[in-house]
Amino acid sequence: MVEVLLLVGVAVAAFVGYNIGGATTGPAFGPAVGADVLSKAGAAGLMSVFFFVGAGTLGQRVVTTLGEDLVTGANVFTLETSIIVLFFIGGALFVGNFAGVPASTSMTAVGAIAGLGIATNTLDWAVMGEIAIWWLVAPIIGFWVSGVVGRYFYSTIDRWVAIESTEGALFEFDRSGTIPRPILGPNTTRRELTGGIVVIAIGCLMAFSSGTSNIANAIAPLVALDSVEMTPMILLGSAAVAVGAFTIARRTLDTLGNDITDLPLTAAIVVAVVSSGIVISLSAVGIPASFVIIATMSIVGLGWGRATRTVTVRQGIRGEKEPTVSVGALTADEMPPIGEGDASDVPSASDLFNPGTSARVVLMQNVVPILSTVGALVTFAALFGFVW
């Protein structure tokens, strides 16, 4: 009976990993796919490799946090409770993926485990509080760092990395020899090649950061059991993520690469670097971070930084000039020097975001963690007779 339950647990963990692959490939490689510098299959392959590297290194620390530190009671994680927790994580993420929205896997997983901890009175509120504080602080850091970049350095970065797209593929394969080898497309310029390499490299960095934070969401409940080793589960979880990246991730790649926003490629690169840096830093100390939320605030901060270029710090403090704060500033090809221009130089936010798709994304990013948390809490409360 134990062996059967363990197989069920492994299957459910693989299902969670599958949905993580679907949820995280879009944020990582959506900009590259949307800019036509990488195919969906290429994005899935790179996601698989770099997720595994992140999971096998810093990801082990986050596994320990979720599997051992968040709930402290002896024998809280049994095969049965682990399967139920993973079921709610995977089920909630599947809802988001089916809607084509990359929900926060970390918030979804922590919510399900916290539901178990509350129902059994074993939740370590100090650890939960530390995680929650960083969930609040990290997006603020992302906002301000991106704001500073947008105000002072965006134009310079744009000149370095902006892609000037030409007709045809960025790369092609020369099949004249025994082994096909990649060559430049017929119209690919040196600048286009450099920009393409940069945006692909950023996607790889994001995939690595996803592995450091998200592998725990698939395997931590099982690794918490004495009979389950971490290394085989990391291999299993990473393989499941790869399957998700090659299949269901196509929906989130469309959403992040084409539907939600016309985010300029330079802006996407800035957001990716800032967000990935924060996620990797938190993973290094064992904190599961929400990349989706951090990246969203980074986009807003970047737009705020560009929009406020029309006002100097002194003018802002004295109230001499009011800026128009809008993420629509990201769509502007050129912004005026600091302290020059007026509000009319700042494009409307409606020029950047698709309102309908944006509303769907915001809704599902809140619904998915709530489904996981409430579902687990109610289920375990019923099983363990929790007194409300």
Q: Buried b / exposed e across 18-29, counting CB within 10 Å, b at 16+?
A: bbbbbbbbbbbb
Amino acid identity, position 354: N
CA distance 63 to 77: 14
Model-wide pTM > 0.85 = no
pLDDT (tens digit per residue) in 180-207: 777 777 777 777 777 778 888 888 998 9
What's the pLDDT at 254? 65
The tokens describing 229, both together, are 């080793």
CA distance 144 to 290: 17
- Mean pLDDT of the 95-120 span: 82
What's the pLDDT at 325? 47
CA distance 349 to 328: 4
pLDDT (tens digit per residue) in 272-295: 889 899 999 999 999 998 877 787
- Judge whether 126 and 70 are in contact, CB under 8 Å: no
79/316: higher pLDDT: 79
